[in-house]
Amino acid sequence: MATLRRAGFALFAVALLSACLTPEVVRPSQSPAPTLTPPSQTSAIPTFTLLPETPTPAPTPVPTPPPPPPRTPKPDPTTNVAGQQLIPYYFTVRGLFAVFPPTPQIDNDLASDRDGDAFFRGLTPAGQPIFTVREDFLMTQRTAYHEIGHAYEALLQRKNASIDWRAKYWAFRGFPGTWQQAAAEAATMTGMGQWIHQPQESWAEAFSVAMTGGGQEKTLDYGRTINPAATKAFFLSLLNQ
pLDDT score at 66: 84
pLDDT score at 3: 47
pLDDT score at 12: 47
pLDDT score at 71: 78
pLDDT score at 62: 77
Tell me the mean pLDDT per 10 residues along the chain, length 241.
47 46 48 52 56 68 81 92 98 98 98 96 98 98 98 98 98 98 97 96 98 96 98 98 92
Q: Which of 222, 225, 231 is nearest to 152 (CA)?
A: 231
pTM: 0.72
Distance separating alpha carbons of residues 169 and 153, to the nearest angstrom: 10
Write out the H or E segment, with its range, that includes residue 71.
none
Q: Which of 119, 126, 133 is nearest to 204 (CA)?
A: 119
Distance separating alpha carbons of residues 24 and 58, to the nearest angstrom: 81
Q: Are 169 and 222 in contact (CB under 8 A)?
A: no
Greatest alpha-carbon span in the chain:
187
Q: Are 235 and 207 in contact (CB under 8 A)?
A: yes
pLDDT score at 49: 61
Q: Are 81 and 106 in contact (CB under 8 A)?
A: no
User: Taking the CA of residue 18 as centre, how many other CA atoms within 13 Å lie in the half-sphere pointing to its CB?
Assistant: 6
pLDDT score at 225: 97
Distance separating alpha carbons of residues 228 and 54, to the nearest angstrom: 77
